[in-house]
Structure 1
Amino acid sequence: MAWKTLDEMDLAGKVVLTRVDINVPVEDGKVTDTTRIDKIVPTVKDILAKGGRPVLLAHFGRPKGKVVPEMSLAPLVPALEAALGVSVNFATDCIGGPAKQAVAALGEGEVLLLENTRFHAGEEKNDAELAASMGALGEVYVNDAFSAAHRAHASTEGIAHILPAAAGRLMEAELKALEAALGAPVRPVTAVVGGAKVSTKLDLLGNLVTKVDNLVIGGGMANTFLVAQGVDVGKSLAEHDMADTAKEILAKADAAGCKIVLPSDVVVAREFKANAANETVAADACPSDAMILDAGPEAVAEIARTFEASKTLIWNGPLGAFEIAPFDTATNAAAAKAADLTEAGKLTSVAGGGDTVAALNKAGASAKFTYISTAGGAFLEWMEGKTLPGVAALEKN
């Protein structure tokens, strides 16, 4: 752990520039989902408890370097006050006069939210001048936005080279969970990778087969691997042009001693709709006029046995068309098994990615997982073995 935590920082009386991700859904000027706001509460409260004055830096939407009134952070103030239980002031810019005046006026026990960092073109370009202007507002920098750590922006990477820096509580929790899952895991390690396309997760699969003991492949991706093995998948979603690539991944896994788990049986239907007439067949017996929409009971049983023989689990992506019943059955069953093993203390389970979180929530399994990452792109890039600029900057600092 080469980065510092809040416990190692003297914050008393200091202005603490705190990069957060509060890019939350807003309708009619009101926040409709406070999950990301709730996640930053421990960090902000700890800064206040240590006598620091938190000044929040955040982005919102994609204004592309221009001031877009509909993408102002101002409407988030009431939701922040409700979550934090303290007064939250707002500055109409994240640099310059408005920001300096608001920082100077910030009282003890109060929080300041600065306007959308992406209203400045230099934010996404990681402009040194913009980073310096933001950095001039504070005395300490805390990055609590792991979900934006894969981006080298002025507020996520640049400021870390200017001020003494540390990871916030959410960033700390994410990094510790990820280190436990892939950095120095207890073996055997199993990864579940699902979703529609192999092409979007090539780097991920290529990295995982050299790091894990078992790789469970589900969703449309599994169909592409079946095609690579000469299986006719009928009208199923599959990337036939990626068959050779799938073969290469299978060969790489074999050379690395990683067992690939593909479904031995599948649930097929003639139409993609809720409660469509369906049947379970062997994976190599999909009718030519049908499509594979889920893994079958034998496949789920094999996945359960794989989980039982594992100590660490990393999960990204559903096993089938989880959005509609009954094609959520395999995902729900596998999630429940992982949750039960975790609750029994037999498995360390880490999951992340938008569809993954939605699927595990739908299965009612999220609460029992060891850690559910709030990050999408950053979680994926970490699984791919890529360096995250926001994290690397903290380590260098």
Structure 2
Amino acid sequence: MRGVAPSVGQSSIPSRADRAVKHARLVELLDRRGAESIVLRSHTALAWALDGARTYVSLAGDPVVAAVVTRDGVELRVFDNEADRMLDEELGDVGDLAVTRVPWHEPLAPAGIAELEEADVVAELRAARVKLLPAELARYRALCREVAEVLTDAALVVDPSDPERDVAARLAGDLVARGIDPLVTLVAGRTRLAHRHPLPTDAPLGDRAMLVVCGRRHGLIANATRWVRFGPADPVEADAARRILEVEAAFLDATRPGATLGEVFAAGTAAYAANGFDPEEWRRHHQGGAAGYAGRDPRAVPGIADVVQAGQAFAWNPTAPGAKVEDTVLLGASGVEVLTLDPRWPTSRVGGRERPIELERGSHGVA
């Protein structure tokens, strides 16, 4: 859906109340560590602490801000050449922050500026981010819905002759038009479906294609995968697509408060063999994990001890040759809720949930 105007800056987003809650969580971390201060340096931690502020200029660059957190408050250290823009457009009401302008040619936050470095408490910071606050969740719901819409819009108009790069360009352009950073845009046509992370090429889509998007807005990241087919389905491919949804259902069913990510991972990966796939299939691609201010926060691996909590987001992505499913979901009071949802996309009911199936188009791309 082209031409959707993005919001300008962050000033319309309530921030001070959320930042107070996050500051309290960080003070609890300091108390547990017996420390007086911590410096936050990563985009993930800063975007969370600063209520979704864009902490970058280059998507591949380091943050242009750092935050030194003490029990008394937060010192925001920002490069002087970025300060006016960030104060005007990103940070909203900064009455709760002490702002220090740092010359662009000097270290933003020198080593030793705080007792704790972010790298010292990675798991504890992840735990502090787990439960999304109401304003965060409202932003996340909107982001996830729009990412799903962008995928649907593209799938409804692409043609078998379209090069993968053209489809990726449309996905990225539509995301940017909505104020969403296109962190990942993967496209695989028929000849490249064997690749689990298919960076787009000039190959045409052919009769079947996979579209993958990871989009970021207000620091939060939504992840989703969709499949489009031109003409009738191949029975073998359709069967694999059905079975991979059953594997995903095992991941989702195991995503319960109090479980560890390692336990969820074990339940999901065991479902490959139970559904006719190679039992070792999980070794050939990552399976997803918790979501939010990082693409996976964290990525699940065997035995990982992070504890699942209500109010936490996840993006599981079981995959096998020619089959994959991926959505961003929320673990709410009544179970798992799919956030990357567009009612225009066809679904089937699996495990009590509506899950996406291939979108069938006419054999020549005519819907």
More helix by proportion, 1 or 2?
1
More strand by proportion, 1 or 2?
2
TM-score of the aligned structures, taking structure 2 as reference length: 0.30
TM-score of the aligned structures, taking structure 1 as reference length: 0.28
Q: Which has the larger radius of gyration?
A: 1
